[in-house]
Amino acid sequence: MKKYIKIITAVVICFIVAFIMLFLAKKVYYKVKNIRYERQIIEKNNYSLLQNIQKLTETKPKSVTLQELTDFEWDYVYNFAPYTNQKYIEDMIGMKSCIPMYFRGDGDETSILFMNKGKIVCYLGGKKDNLKCMISLNGSYTNYNAIRYANQNINTLYVEYDGYPRLYLADKEVVKSKGEKFEFKMKDNGKYESKKWVECTPN
């Protein structure tokens, strides 16, 4: 009798283990599938944004809006300062990125990220000469880690053409853009004492 009980117990345990493994495998499969899908969306939107920026050289307008340059939906755009690595970017947006963020530790870089409903939908990062464009949304702020704007709060951008399009936040005399800057305090152990987004008018 004890022998049969052991056999039945072993069979039940095997079924439970098999079920758990199948559940975990399915979970991993869908997670990988979602990551691939998110990456495809980001790459598609990144390509579209770069193409639209390059098209500016055909008509050379003196000003443009981000809404005119983006063929995708977004509710927030972030501008990260040079030397800002991926960990800090993820801390600022409050989530892990499914794509690598550009960081080479130099000042000659553009790092712009678009989000929609809590998800990354486009990231433009790299050396300006490699991207063949530059976007700077920090306005008059020179000491900043990140600045973000809601879609409805960022307005006109100036465009300069010096080898490739360079986009800057327009002066407030033209039109005011209302943003938020990231402020934080660090403890000695490297953890945050506080972090928050504070309203600002960069231009």
Residue 24 lies in a domain: no
Q: Which is it for the CA torsion 184, 185, 189, 192, positive or negative?
A: negative
| pLDDT value at residue 129 | 86
**Which backbone phi and psi does 48 adopt, to 5 degrees?**
-60, -45
| pLDDT value at residue 192 | 67
Boundaries of domain holding 151: 47-200
- Between 89 and 191, name the one with better pLDDT: 89
Q: How many domains does the chain have?
A: 1
Average pLDDT, stretch 118-128? 92
Residue 84 lies in a domain: yes
* Cα distance between residue 134 and residue 19, in whole Å: 52
| pLDDT value at residue 182 | 85
**Which backbone phi and psi does 124 adopt, to 5 degrees?**
-115, 105
- Least confident piece of the model among 65-79, 95-109, 146-160: 95-109
| pLDDT value at residue 141 | 67
- Between 112 and 12, name the one with better pLDDT: 112
**Which backbone phi and psi does 191 adopt, to 5 degrees?**
-90, 160
Give the C-alpha distances (Å, rounded to integers) separating 53 from 106, 110, 163, 165: 23, 14, 13, 7
Q: pLDDT over 70 for what percent of the chain?
A: 75
74 and 115 Cβ atoms separated by less than 8 Å: yes
Residue 51 lies in a domain: yes
Residue 14 lies in a domain: no
DSSP, res 153: G
Residue 9 lies in a domain: no
Residue 11 lies in a domain: no
Q: Which residue has the tokens 């464009």?
A: 133
Nearby residues of 149 by Cβ (< 8 Å), 6 or more positions away: 76, 77, 137, 177, 178, 179, 180
| pLDDT value at residue 106 | 65
| pLDDT value at residue 3 | 67
Query: Residue 159's CB: how many other CB atoms inside 10 A?
Result: 19
Q: Which residue has the tokens 């345990």?
A: 13
Mean pLDDT of the chain: 82
DSSP, res 61: -
| pLDDT value at residue 112 | 94
Over the stretch 17-37, which tens digit does the pLDDT of each residue have?
666 776 666 555 555 556 687
Residue 142 has pLDDT above 80, yes or no: no
77 and 151 Cβ atoms separated by less than 8 Å: yes
Q: How confident is the model at residue 163 (pLDDT cuts 50, 70, 90)?
A: confident
